[in-house]
Structure 1
């Protein structure tokens, strides 16, 4: 039988190992990016480097926009707004009870052009929704109960549903939020500087500083590493335990086989001594071969087998051992009844 537990632990350890390597690699990359202390220095840096040369930098500032979005429920002004609506209800399951469930009714997102501003210059950010580390603030969370009516209640009951209400959640990136952005800096022909996802490299939009990002990635890399080591040790233990049990089981089978063969040889010797005292018209060759086969219980290998299993019909155990069995040792079928046999 395949040791599923051990294999699962080893595969989990491999996955955690690669996650740890990825986090550690990202931390090393973030250490090597160019840090821009003031946004006005970024335009000069791009002019010095070259407009077409990929330049991955990290900048900080506060979120701003010329056309911010006025949130419908929270009243906040933001540059990215996500709205979701979930229908909550009770449904009748097969067991006859009511369980709570929900279904997504609406999911929409709005984003306007926005920038980072440190008071001296602005840098536009493009494609922030696809960046790592972007967390939107929950601006509003409202639950609207469903209206009660006899007709609606009857229809819902016939369908096995009880409507509870609609939960509306509004997440927003408010203006004025301090952010750190890591990405490729470019400058267009009109002199506008923007940061976007690089073709190769990190792209982060986070409310943490660059040093905090590096520290967090390093911490997760260590946690993944230790978890990988733990799963590896446990998985190897399970595999070794399974292998040891398999070896001991095979060894027990070989010892049992030797005991059965020894018992058969002993019984054959006793039968030959008995045959020598009989006339030449004794039992046939077929009967002699049958006498060579041991009649011992396959469990204890001490008593003769004297019980028949119903319904499979196998006879291989004594009554004492049969009383402890639920399945036949030969065919593994369930034992409904044990019938004792008598030999003459």
Structure 2
């Protein structure tokens, strides 16, 4: 670990343990809450997949026509269908079906219905003669710089059962609004080095990132691939179609229904126990931090009170004849507490001059000192001298 990384780790540890671990407890509470929310969503998806029927493409028509509308989702039925990928042009029923509408991989030449090409520029960094610049750039420049470009192409496709054309039963796949990952196959993967230039030398000299390689990838969804579709299936004009369900983590996948259930069950258990453990830790840390900070606050109040008493003891002479003066004192100038000495101390911040200095100090030493007249909380008192 470098010196800068060690310094960053030390700063992060100090921030996490600030206020006796309050920030750490809040962070753990946030993570625990997120885990419980994700556990709820995962458990709901698990129940839906467990209750969804697993069908063949040829069985869809009879199931959808006889399904109970009360169990429908968005006008359709949640099903799990296993089928083989083929282009939609294979069932169009016109002259275009003689020329299949498919995509061709640029590198491998394979036929497919989904084609994704990605180019990733790989950067290196040398701290250079002015190494401090790389620390600043790590905070800003990397977030602004785009290192990856992706092109995505797709043609309409269907799922069919194994057999010869023309297909009598098929399922149209509707990808609209889908953010789910696709079971793509990598057919091309190559890393090409980038030759250095004089500009590259200047970038390295001042601690900037500079390109060293270009990674090109090509992934496809080939014809004839056996996949599973999990979604809402509808029947329109006698043709079955399936679209993704936003509440489920799967749409098109290589996994079977049993493997999906096993994966979701394991994930839900991990999320549940992580939420419970992290929640318990956060409660313990926050409770400990609360007790520690409460005790520190009480100690601080006691120290402040002791300091005021010490200062008052050094400034006041109990045997002062002026404080102990008695005799012919008008009633309007007598201390409202002892009624024997003259009023000499004004309270702050209310400003009432109603007590002698000795009684004012006694009022200040209370746990919740308040002015005897207006009952406002006071901070201290000041001795008033006659001119």
Where do 1:180-329 residues align within 5 Å? 180-189=228-237, 191-197=238-244, 204-257=251-304, 259-260=306-307, 263=310, 271-272=317-318
Over 3 Å counting, the alpha-carbon distance change for 1:72 and 1:15 in structure 2 is same
Over 3 Å counting, the alpha-carbon distance change for 1:216 and 1:203 in structure 2 is closer
RMSD of aligned alpha carbons: 3.9
Q: Deviation at 1:196?
A: 1.8
Matched, 1:71 2:105: yes
Q: Is the 8 A contact 2:159 2:172 kept in 1?
A: yes
Residue from 45, 49, 55 that aligns with 1:30 = 49
Over 3 Å counting, the alpha-carbon distance change for 1:266 and 1:105 in structure 2 is closer
Instruction: Please state whether the residue corresponding to 1:130 is helix, strand or coil.
Output: coil
Q: Is the 8 A contact 2:191 2:216 kept in 1?
A: yes
Write the distance in 1 (CA, Å) between the matches of 2:146 and 2:259: 37
Instruction: Please state whether the residue corresponding to 1:3 is helix, strand or coil.
Output: helix
Residue from 151, 154, 162 that aligns with 2:198 = 154
Write the distance in 2 (CA, Å) between the matches of 1:257 and 1:145: 69
Over 3 Å counting, the alpha-carbon distance change for 1:246 and 1:95 in structure 2 is same
Residue 377 of structure 2 corresponds to none
Write the distance in 2 (CA, Å) between the matches of 1:176 and 1:266: 95
Write the distance in 1 (CA, Å) between the matches of 2:318 and 2:67: 103
Residue 94 of structure 2 corresponds to none
> For each residue in 1:133-168, what CA deviation from the matched residue of structure 2 results, as whole angstroms up to 9, or x when unmatched?
5332332211122346xxxx1244345564423211
> For each residue in 1:175-214, what CA deviation from the matched residue of structure 2 results, as whole angstroms up to 9, or x when unmatched?
333211112223333x432212359878621111112212
Write the distance in 2 (CA, Å) between the matches of 1:146 and 1:193: 50
Instruction: Please state whether the residue corresponding to 2:66 is helix, strand or coil.
Output: helix
| Matched residue count | 276
Q: Deviation at 1:68?
A: 3.5
Matched, 1:95 2:143: no
Residue 57 of structure 2 corresponds to 39
Which region of structure 1 is more displaced relative to structure 2, 26-35 or 62-71?
Answer: 62-71
Instruction: Please state whether the residue corresponding to 1:168 is helix, strand or coil.
Output: strand
Where does structure 2 lack aligned partners over 5 or more consecutive residues? 1-18, 88-99, 164-168, 326-343, 346-356, 362-387
Write the distance in 2 (CA, Å) between the matches of 1:201 and 1:208: 14
Q: Is the 8 A contact 2:31 2:278 kept in 1?
A: yes
Write the distance in 1 (CA, Å) between the matches of 2:283 and 2:53: 44
Residue 156 of structure 2 corresponds to 113
Residue 219 of structure 2 corresponds to 171
Which region of structure 1 is more displaced relative to structure 2, 93-102 or 252-261?
Answer: 93-102
Matched, 1:126 2:174: yes
Instruction: Please state whether the residue corresponding to 1:10 is helix, strand or coil.
Output: helix
Normalising by structure 1, we get a TM-score of: 0.66
Write the distance in 2 (CA, Å) between the matches of 1:92 and 1:225: 44
Normalising by structure 2, we get a TM-score of: 0.59
Write the distance in 1 (CA, Å) between the matches of 2:215 and 2:297: 61
